[in-house]
Amino acid sequence: MSERAAIRARGLTRRFGTLVAVDRVDLDVPVRHVYGFLGPNGSGKSTTIRMLCGLLTPNAGEIDVLGLTIPAQADALRSRIGYMTQKFSLFEDLSVRENFEFMAAMHNVPRERARRRIDELIEQYRFANMHKQLAGTLSGGQKQRLALACAVIHEPELLFLDEPTSAVDPESRRDFWEKLFDLADTGTTLLVSTHLMDEAERCHRLAILDHGRLVADDTPAVLTGRLQGRTFIVDASDPRRAQRTLAQARGVLGVAQIGHHVRVLTEAADVHDMPGHIHAALAQAGQHAQVTPVPPNLEDVFVAVTRHAQAMEPTA
């Protein structure tokens, strides 16, 4: 890569008994980027993050994080990274300020620097009117903001966020992402795992994991651009019936009902005139519909790369 990498991993593998949770993953995470991990539960996102942090030892592979060899130099890495989990992990019976003070002490931030830093974060993350409030009484979005602020109290170079917004409302998620981009603008590299497509679209670069394998890695624009000409909206009088019909049609990779429409993802170059082919398949089943090309999105990308990966798996 032309950009300097904050994280570089090669052949990263982790097994739990006979289960291969992470399977020969290669990663390059550029500095000052918001780098996304997209995948369903069980795809290997959290296991990969734990290995990159030095919390879990891989069975095979090499990891370089911020110029350090992991896990051998994990102790030296801890002061340079932050970590935020899906579950609120701060102390609910301590006040907002007390949580900041505790986290500053955990990261060995000098007392005078900690005081100034806590004041900065209370202002920046909008806790000025609630710094004495118990953390357990905060709303979900406020808890999320507090967890993020505490994760960066020691000004880490690299921040890991594992499904950080899965339990909050859309407005709080939008505000949270603004904070992430503020951090990237000031030099922090962020690795964010998610299973939410709208969050994945926000990332500078995106890796898609499926059953422990890296099946795609590029910018959202490049990933969606590779599917140009392969996505369509079908308007039919009976969309459920149209969906069932098209799911069996040659050249169709994925079909999903979206409201009163059916969204269709096709195989690459399988049929020359795909709109005509879709029309013919529906007409043969006694259905009439309008077929309109539409731009691909990340959900289409996810379906395309995961189903291609499944098709490439050897059969017993």
pLDDT tens readout for residues 250-305: 999 999 999 999 999 999 866 678 889 999 999 998 988 999 999 999 999 999 99
H or E element that contains 194: strand 189-194
Is the model's pLDDT at 104 over the cut of 90? yes
What contacts 181, CB < 8 A, 6 or more positions away? Answer: 34
Please provide the CATH number assigned to the domain covering 229-294: 3.30.70.100
Is the model's pLDDT at 311 over the cut of 80? no
Dist CA 189 CA 77 (whole Å): 14
Q: Which residue has the higher pLDDT, 237 or 95?
A: 95
* % of residues, the chain, pLDDT over 90: 77
Model confidence, pTM: 0.88
- Kindly state the DSSP code that residue 135 receives in the 8-state scheme: G
Superfamily of domain 5-219: P-loop containing nucleotide triphosphate hydrolases (3.40.50.300)
pLDDT tens readout for residues 139-152: 888 998 999 999 99
Sheet harboring 34-38: ordered strands across? 81-84, 158-162, 189-194, 34-38, 205-210, 213-218
The pLDDT score that the predictor gives to residue 195 is: 86
- Kindly state the DSSP code that residue 100 receives in the 8-state scheme: H
Domain boundaries, the chain: 5-219, 229-294
pLDDT tens readout for residues 230-243: 999 999 989 999 99
